Every structure is written in structure tokens, then in C-alpha cells.
């Protein structure tokens, strides 16, 4: 797999692996052996960029990732996040310097490593000045415990304030064919400041694969059960979106997921999506998307077609939406 550069010279595979779903968010966690097998299979296929967070099972996902990459730790880039009280998103935000340090020390232990390659603030904390957050990470960088600083779902003002204190290597936010808000102000800012962009949910939380329809029943514990965009009514209305994507994919002799990922990769050379999966065949499908090249004419056609389709339903319930974009 080719590599790409995020900000500050951070080189990673052109596509990463989002590890959250192995432990958290999409129903029951996979067993440890299955999770380790999938992560190592990703590495064998050229993926060197792995994403986790304290909040994904209160360290459980970090521990899984740490065990999986232990044999080749120095060949991969590990990204994790701080920012929720006690590592629980529903408990509220906590980016106080003391908590950042405590979470970093715990993450180092979970990941079985002496440094975190990319440490993100998971969500902007309005009660802690961004200068204090960035300053704490700057100190951790100086101490050798962290290599690069990142932000997640941050807004323009927060990004500028953080970058002025400690250069931001990457911004991680949702971005896909059916959530294009970052194109308005965030991507231009990243280009201006030399910050890489890491789209999470690049396959629309699975919807862009075409494997989900109005009749799909999500498992207990799957957070899509509370996402307005995934109500049965919204899924039925949004099927037209997937139908168009599937038709274009057939023309390109690819799958809808591969076209959706290739479209993201074609937007900017410093965009690195991190699709997640628990299934080996989906991993292979996603990896193959890195070799699917969309020409300018194909990208323009996709953009025009997709812009004409209305997406139904909010991407987050109100409580989660309140934590994004500051």
C-alpha cells in the first residue's frame, strides 16, 4: 500500500484501520483472538496506521491493539485519544491537564509502548482553554511520550488556537460521501496550516456499503440504534443514495464501499480514511480501494450526482451533536 503524509511529516499508510468496532460501539466486542487476527491481517496487507481511544471500552480497545501490534510495534503508527471523564463519553468532557497526563500514562500501558505516535483530543472541552490542552501535549512531546498532536471534531477557532501552541499533525472528523460538511471550512484550513485530515466513518457507519437497508436490525449496544440517520424511515429514504453509488460502482467494476473510499482518497493527498470492520473479507475489500483510481471526470460526476441527493436524518442524536464542531 502507498503511504501518505499527515502534518509535521507523519507518514502513514494511505488507509488506516479504525479499531473501535472491535471492542465498542457496534454491539458486543469480538473475542481477543479474532481482534488480534484482524489487526495483524491489516498489517500484512500494508496498513500501518491504527486508531483507538481511551473511550473505546475504557482502555479495552487500546489493550487489544497493543497486544496485536507488539511483534511489529516499531513499524506502525498508533493513534489514541483523551478527553472524556473516566473514559466514558456519556459522563462528559474532561481535558484538564491532569487528566490528559493520567490518560496518556494509562494509554502507554494499555498499548504496551513507550510513546504514542498521535495523541488526539477526542472532543473540544469548552471548560478548558485550548492553549492549556495544546500546552500539555507540547510538554508530553518534549518528554518523548507523545510524537504528534491531533484534534477530533474541532472547529476552525479551536484548531487555530491549538496549532499556535503545538503544531497539529492531524484533524480527525467524520467525512464521507453523505457527510461533506468538512469541505466548507475545515479542509481549506487544514490545507492552509499543513494539517492532515483523517475521516472517520468514511463508509457512513456502514450504510455506504449497501449492506444495510430499512429492514436491518442492529444488535443491542450498537449506537446506530439511537442515530436519527439510521431510523428505519431514514434508511428507507436514504436508499436512493446507495442505489446511485451502487450503479456507479458497477460501471467501475468495484463495490460501493471501494468507490466511497476511493472518492475520499482522491479529494486531497493528505486525507487518510480509517474504515473499521470486524470481518476479514470487508478488510480485503477496503484495502483494495486504495488501488482504485478515480479520474477527474469520474470524481466530478460523482460529486454532481451525490450533491443532487438529499440525505435524511441527523448524523448524531442531540446530546452527541452538542459535543462536536467547537
Q: Which domains does the chain have, with CATH numbers?
A: 3-321 (3.20.20.100)
Express each pLDDT in 69-99 by its tens digit: 999 999 999 999 999 999 998 899 999 999 9
Provide the 3-class DSSP secondary structure of residue 279: coil
Contacts for 218 with CB less than 8 Å, ≥ 6 apart = 27, 224, 225, 230
Percent of the chain clearing pLDDT 70 (strictly above): 98
Nearest Cα residue to 158 out of 182, 186, 179, 180? 186
> Residue 323: what pLDDT?
65
CA–CA distance from 217 to each of 222, 282, 324 (Å)? 10, 19, 27
| Residue 56 is a catalytic residue | yes
Express each pLDDT in 269-322 by its tens digit: 999 999 999 999 999 999 999 999 988 888 888 888 888 888 899 988 877 777
pTM, to two decimals: 0.96
Q: Which residues of the chain have pLDDT under 50?
A: none
> Residue 221: what pLDDT?
86
> Residue 324: what pLDDT?
65
> Residue 325: what pLDDT?
59
Name the active-site residue from 26, 56, 120, 175.
Answer: 56
Amino acid at each position: 500500500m502507498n503511504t501518505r503524509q499527515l502534518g509535521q511529516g507523519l507518514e502513514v499508510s494511505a488507509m488506516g484501520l479504525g479499531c473501535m468496532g472491535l471492542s465498542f460501539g457496534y454491539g458486543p466486542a469480538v473475542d481477543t483472538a479474532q481482534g488480534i487476527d484482524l489487526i495483524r491481517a491489516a498489517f500484512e496487507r500494508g496498513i500501518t496506521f491504527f486508531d483507538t481511544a481511551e473511550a473505546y471500552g475504557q482502555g479495552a480497545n487500546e489493550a487489544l491493539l497493543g497486544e496485536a501490534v507488539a511483534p511489529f510495534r516499531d513499524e506502525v503508527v498508533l493513534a489514541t485519544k483523551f478527553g472524556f471523564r473516566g473514559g466514558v463519553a456519556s459522563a462528559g468532557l474532561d481535558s484538564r491537564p491532569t487528566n490528559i497526563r493520567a490518560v496518556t500514562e494509562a494509554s502507554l500501558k494499555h498499548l504496551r509502548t513507550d510513546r504514542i505516535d498521535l495523541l488526539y483530543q477526542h472532543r473540544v472541552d469548552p471548560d478548558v482553554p485550548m492553549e492549556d490542552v495544546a500546552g500539555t501535549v507540547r510538554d508530553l512531546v518534549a518528554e518523548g511520550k507523545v510524537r504528534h498532536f491531533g484534534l477530533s471534531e474541532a472547529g476552525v477557532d479551536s484548531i487555530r488556537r491549538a496549532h499556535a501552541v503545538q503544531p497539529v499533525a492531524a484533524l480527525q472528523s467524520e467525512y464521507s460521501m453523505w457527510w461533506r460538511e468538512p469541505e466548507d471550512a475545515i479542509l481549506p484550513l487544514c490545507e492552509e496550516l499543513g494539517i492532515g485530515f483523517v475521516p472517520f466513518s468514511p463508509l457512513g457507519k456502514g450504510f455506504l456499503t449497501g449492506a444495510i437497508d430499512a429492514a436491518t436490525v442492529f444488535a443491542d449496544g450498537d449506537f446506530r440504534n439511537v442515530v436519527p440517520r439510521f431510523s428505519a424511515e431514514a434508511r428507507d429514504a436514504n436508499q436512493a443514495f446507495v442505489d446511485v453509488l451502487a450503479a456507479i460502482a458497477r460501471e467501475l467494476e468495484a463495490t460501493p464501499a471501494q468507490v466511497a473510499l476511493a472518492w475520499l482518497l482522491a479529494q486531497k493527498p493528505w486525507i487518510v480514511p480509517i474504515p473499521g470492520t470486524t470481518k476479514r473479507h470487508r478488510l480485503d475489500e477496503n484495502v483494495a480501494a486504495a488501488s482504485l483510481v478515480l479520474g477527474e471526470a469520474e470524481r466530478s460526476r460523482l460529486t454532481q450526482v451525490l450533491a443532487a441527493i438529499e440525505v435524511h436524518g441527523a448524523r448524531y442524536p442531540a446530546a452527541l451533536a452538542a459535543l462536536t464542531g467547537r
